[in-house]
Amino acid sequence: MKNIAFIGLGTMGFPIASHLVKQNQKITIYNRNIKKCHNFKKNFKKYNIIIEDNLFSLAKNNQYIFSCVGNDDDLREIYFSKTGIINEIKPNSYIIDHTTVSSEISIESFIKFKKKNCFFIDAPVSGGEIGAKNGTLSIMVGGDKKIYSKLRKLLDIYSKSITYMGKSGNGQLTKMVNQICVAGIIQGLSEGLNFAKQKKLSFNELFDAVSNGAAQSWQMDNRASTMWLDKFKFGFMNKWMKKDLIIALKEAKKSDILLPCTEEILKFYEQLIFKGYGDFDTSSLIKLLNKKN
């Protein structure tokens, strides 16, 4: 049994933590909204779950600390603020971050924790809420390869694939590539399905015809039918995609890399959020093609 702590019980963090406690039998949890901690404990009564409201205590008593929060500022708060874990963390502790953030904060974390004789890896995930619940996430890892190798068995608990991408920050750069590609695929799928609807094609026959060819994708397999039915209350939210695409575009700008399609699709997500669809699944891009919306 390992001393494991998990910070951030949101849409992704809650199911990831659930896989860890089922395997390890014990976990310490922390969330700014303490109600989520009590809800977690209620759902997993038979396991040893410690609810912690103090990051100092959490850092002192746990060697393996996972985080899955919102953005760079959230990470800086839980890691490096006056109440952050770095102030009380023990040497030879491991910090595994599943948040999608900038490469800068990951590199900063790697350096600062190393000075404390601790080990940090950036490990953003892909697969959405479904992947987190099913334990089939794809994880992209940046950091020391030897440390990654030591942590591999823990990451295996809730993933279907783990890829080591090199130095610190490379996990986040890889996630940016993932989001750039996903956004483009969803926009293409939206336009294709809208075209089919306007031409009054049958969805079932259409899906059979195109899903087994070059147009096949995870988005088509998992979202085409719900997009067709105008259902978007699940999965990865538009407000999160907006955040991720902004991170990618900022990184691209630093290296003078052109992302013209991504720039346009970001505007589309901003439109959806403005219209009140911030909590809808990212496949709701198709709504902008319906003139009634």
Please identify every residue annotated as catalytic. Answer: 175
Q: Position 196: which residue type? A: A
Angle between helices 260-274 and 170-198 (to 10 degrees): 70
Place of tokens 């490096």: 80
The H or E element containing residue 48 is strand 48-51
Contact 130, 222 (CB under 8 A): yes
Listed residue (171, 193, 157, 204) closest to 283, CA to CA: 193
Please give the Cα distance from 261 to 280 (Å, whole number).
21
Contact 112, 78 (CB under 8 A): no
**Tokens at residue 1, please?**
């049994």
Listed residue (15, 61, 10) closest to 158, CA to CA: 15
Listed residue (127, 129, 152, 128) closest to 141, CA to CA: 152
**Tokens at residue 125, please?**
């995930």
